[in-house]
């Protein structure tokens, strides 16, 4: 009896030791994958994929969650935002099952970064807040500082510089209090960008250099790209193009070594500005072309992943339909056999045959319907890509105009080119909204106008050297491009006129924007508290002609009210297409 049990005990012990070794190997691979994505993205993805496979085979849920998290971060760095988002949600689901709140908070924070890279700032802020809540609950101070830095970066893109600066300064306090210098680099880098936006270039360079020194010390090549590129932009504005080129080339080399395609895009844009300023137009064109090609590559890769996923789902359903057809043929053979044996039930079997035949026809019709739906979805993706390419081409035109304006000396010529760039931006933003929207035929006019006016106000407040306050109240209507584009151009012209001519003597300039439905008509109102002067109705300059032309296209009744309190322009639009 003892001899019988000894082999069983030995086998059980061996299995336990093997399982422990396998888990240890999975943990080792996950740690290696995490260490690699700062310097070697492809190797990090390969190691994490292997760890994920082993974790699934061993049913090691925690190891599986870590592998998903590493794959998500690596793919986000590489520029595969759609793939990264999917991996993050998988990791979050598993960490929630494990009740691992520390790693769950990290996943929330990194998912926020992923949404940020897709320009979905509200989604990013939502997950940052969830991460902050968990960090405070579990007293994870260093993780809290990391999230504050990420949220602060999002604030800068939402035009909230004071909130962003407060986040960065609070993060720096935590890092210093907890004696964690590794985190200071990101905070210094983000503060430098705020000072750059405020045109305090020497202070910006100081903080970029602090962040670069920190990133080099801790071998964070991915983040070092941003520090070098930011320094290059500062030197461009200081007209020290030799130093600008030196830092931009360092940034380009690192981005290519680490495989960080999204950051390489911005480096090429910086280099095009430098070479144009130096008069090396060949290199400027090459850099601008590289910027366009990389932008299209990142966009096409994400769309290809989505199309591949859709095709995979369709093929699975097609296999099921074939299996169902084979099963029906087998049942039909049984019915024929029973018909030969049981003549009495021939009529019943015939009816049953007709019923099954009808069912097969319905299945074939359903299959054709699914194929039609797949074709329609593919066309939707292609239309979205067309809008994306149009938007990219408009951006290239705008960039060329911007570069050309830097060579001009005549203020009137510079002002004309600047106005043209603002009009191009209004058109470009329409196409951007269309390809980012789930409904590529409709423009959400409320968010579009708010973003357009905010961009214009941000641009002009540097010229007037005053804070321009904006009040926007627009119904969230879905309009087609034939309606949205004229409205956007009219609003852009009216806001530009206010910013340029209305606030010479106004200490607290304000612009109000409203678009409401009233009695089956669209009522557009743009008002300011400036000097109340306007010449749109009688003006002969291009802007006035453009407003009158767009108003005629919309069959709009145009009126202006001028007073000491400012200028109020109202258009009652009767020709528009409202989409669901």
Residue 47 banded pLDDT, cuts 50, 70, 90: confident
Contact yes or no for 484/513 (Cβ under 8 A): no
**For the chain, what is the radius of gyration of the CA atoms?**
31
pLDDT digits (tens, 9 = 90+) for 222-232: 889 988 999 99
Residue 325: is its pLDDT beyond 70? no
- Residue 436's contacts (CB-CB under 8 Å, 6 or more residues apart) are 119
Neighbouring C-beta atoms of residue 16, cutoff 10 Å: 10
Identify the pLDDT of residue 303.
44
Contact yes or no for 436/443 (Cβ under 8 A): no
Residue 507 banded pLDDT, cuts 50, 70, 90: confident
pLDDT digits (tens, 9 = 90+) for 336-362: 889 899 898 888 888 888 888 888 888
Identify the pLDDT of residue 6.
38
Report the DSSP pairing between strands 469-474 and 510-518: parallel
What's the predicted TM-score (pTM) here? 0.42
Residue 3 banded pLDDT, cuts 50, 70, 90: very low
- Residue predicted with more confidence, 552 or 262: 552
Identify the pLDDT of residue 2.
39
Residue 317 banded pLDDT, cuts 50, 70, 90: very low
554 to 2, 447, 576: CA distances (angstroms): 96, 20, 7
- Taking the C-alpha atoms of residue 429 and residue 444, their distance in angstroms, rounded to an integer, is 11
Q: 81-98 and 101-117 helices cross at what angle (nearest 10)?
A: 160
- Taking the C-alpha atoms of residue 70 and residue 110, their distance in angstroms, rounded to an integer, is 10
pLDDT digits (tens, 9 = 90+) for 50-78: 888 888 888 888 888 889 998 988 888 88
- Taking the C-alpha atoms of residue 524 and residue 514, their distance in angstroms, rounded to an integer, is 6
Identify the pLDDT of residue 524.
93
- Eight-class DSSP state of 369: H
- Taking the C-alpha atoms of residue 108 and residue 134, their distance in angstroms, rounded to an integer, is 9
Identify the pLDDT of residue 378.
56
Residue 280: is its pLDDT beyond 80? yes
User: How many helices and strands, by DSSP H and E, does the chain display?
Assistant: 19, 7
Residue 25: is its pLDDT beyond 80? yes
Alpha helices in 259-345 (DSSP H): 261-278, 281-341
Mean pLDDT, to the nearest integer, of 458-485?
83
Mean pLDDT, to the nearest integer, of 111-133?
89
Identify the pLDDT of residue 116.
86
Residue 234: is its pLDDT beyond 90? yes
Supply the mean pLDDT for the chain.
Answer: 80
- Taking the C-alpha atoms of residue 318 and residue 77, their distance in angstroms, rounded to an integer, is 35
Identify the pLDDT of residue 304.
44
The conformational region for residue 558 under phi > 0 = left, psi -120 to 50 = alpha, else beta, is: beta
Mean pLDDT, to the nearest integer, of 411-423?
71
Mean pLDDT, to the nearest integer, of 552-580?
88
258 to 44, 77, 302: CA distances (angstroms): 11, 9, 20
Identify the pLDDT of residue 13.
40
Identify the pLDDT of residue 537.
54
Identify the pLDDT of residue 501.
81
Q: Highest mean pLDDT: which of 209-213, 298-302, 390-394?
A: 209-213
pLDDT > 70 fraction of the chain, expressed in percent and rounded: 81
- Residue predicted with more confidence, 109 or 313: 109
Name which of 185-199, 220-234, 420-434 the model is least confident about.
420-434
- Taking the C-alpha atoms of residue 143 and residue 165, their distance in angstroms, rounded to an integer, is 18
Residue 459 banded pLDDT, cuts 50, 70, 90: confident
Place of tokens 């931006």: 425
Closest by CA to 444, choosing from 458, 465, 464, 429, is 429
Identify the pLDDT of residue 259.
82
The string over 61-77, giving b where at least 16 C-beta atoms fall within 10 Å of a residue's C-beta and e elsewhere, is: ebbbbbbbbbbbbbbbb
Residue 316: is its pLDDT beyond 70? no
- Residue 258's contacts (CB-CB under 8 Å, 6 or more residues apart) are 38, 39, 40, 41, 77, 221, 222, 225
Mean pLDDT, to the nearest integer, of 555-562?
88
pLDDT digits (tens, 9 = 90+) for 395-415: 677 677 767 767 777 777 776
């Amino acid at each position: 009896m003892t001899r019988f049990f000894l082999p069983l005990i030995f086998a059980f012990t061996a299995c336990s030791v093997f399982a422990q070794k396998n888990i240890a190997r999975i943990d080792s691979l996950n740690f290696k994958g995490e260490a690699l994505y700062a310097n070697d993205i492809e190797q990090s993805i390969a190691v994490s994929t292997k760890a994920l496979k082993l974790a699934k085979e061993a049913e090691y849920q925690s190891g599986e969650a870590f592998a998903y998290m590493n794959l998500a971060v690596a793919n986000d760095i590489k520029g595969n935002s759609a793939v990264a988002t999917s991996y993050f949600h998988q990791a979050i689901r598993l960490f929630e099952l494990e009740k691992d709140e520390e790693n769950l908070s990290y996943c929330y924070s990194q998912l926020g970064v992923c949404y940020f890279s897709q320009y979905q700032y509200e989604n990013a802020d939502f997950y940052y807040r969830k991460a902050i809540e968990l960090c405070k609950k579990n007293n994870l101070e260093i993780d809290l500082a990391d999230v504050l830095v990420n949220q602060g970066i999002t604030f800068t893109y939402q035009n909230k510089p004071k909130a962003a600066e407060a986040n960065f300064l609070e993060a720096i306090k935590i890092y210093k209090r907890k004696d964690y210098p590794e985190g200071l680099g990101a905070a210094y880098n983000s503060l430098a960008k705020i000072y750059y936006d405020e045109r305090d270039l020497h202070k910006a360079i100081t903080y970029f250099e602090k962040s670069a020194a920190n990133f080099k010390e801790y071998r964070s090549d991915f983040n070092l790209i941003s520090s070098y590129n930011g320094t290059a932009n500062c030197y461009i504005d200081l007209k020290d193009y030799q130093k600008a080129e030196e830092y931009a080339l360092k940034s380009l080399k690192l981005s290519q070594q680490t495989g960080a395609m999204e950051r390489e895009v911005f480096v090429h844009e910086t280099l095009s500005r430098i070479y144009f300023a130096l008069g090396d137009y060949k290199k400027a064109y090459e850099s601008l072309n590289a910027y366009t090609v990389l932008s299209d590559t990142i966009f096409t890769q994400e769309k290809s992943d989505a199309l591949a996923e859709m095709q995979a789902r369709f093929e699975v359903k097609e296999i099921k339909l074939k299996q169902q057809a084979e099963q029906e043929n087998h049942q039909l053979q049984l019915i024929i056999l029973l018909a030969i044996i049981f003549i009495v039930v021939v009529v019943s079997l015939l009816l049953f045959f007709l019923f099954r035949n009808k069912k097969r026809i319905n299945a074939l019709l359903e299959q054709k319907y699914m194929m039609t739906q797949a074709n329609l979805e593919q066309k939707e993706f292609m239309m979205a890509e067309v809008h994306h390419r149009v938007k990219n081409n408009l951006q290239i035109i705008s960039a060329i105009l911007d570069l050309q304006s830097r060579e001009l000396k005549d203020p009137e010529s510079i002002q004309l080119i600047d106005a043209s760039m603002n009009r191009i931006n209004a058109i470009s933003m329409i196409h951007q909204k269309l390809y980012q929207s789930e409904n590529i035929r409709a423009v959400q006019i409320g968010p579009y106008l708010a973003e357009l006016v905010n961009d214009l106000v941000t641009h002009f407040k540097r010229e007037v050297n005053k804070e321009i306050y904006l009040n926007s109240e627009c119904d969230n209507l879905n309009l087609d491009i034939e309606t949205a584009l004229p409205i956007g151009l009219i609003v852009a012209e009216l806001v530009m006129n206010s910013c340029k001519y209305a606030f010479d003597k106004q200490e607290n300039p304000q612009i109000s924007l409203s678009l409401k439905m009233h009695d089956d008509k669209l009522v557009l109102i743009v008002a300011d508290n400036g000097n109340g002067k306007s010449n749109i109705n009688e003006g002969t300059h291009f802007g006035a002609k453009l407003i009158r032309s767009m108003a005629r296209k919309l069959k709009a009744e145009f009126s202006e009210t001028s007073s000491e309190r400012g200028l109020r322009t109202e258009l009652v639009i009767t020709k528009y297409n409202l989409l669901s």
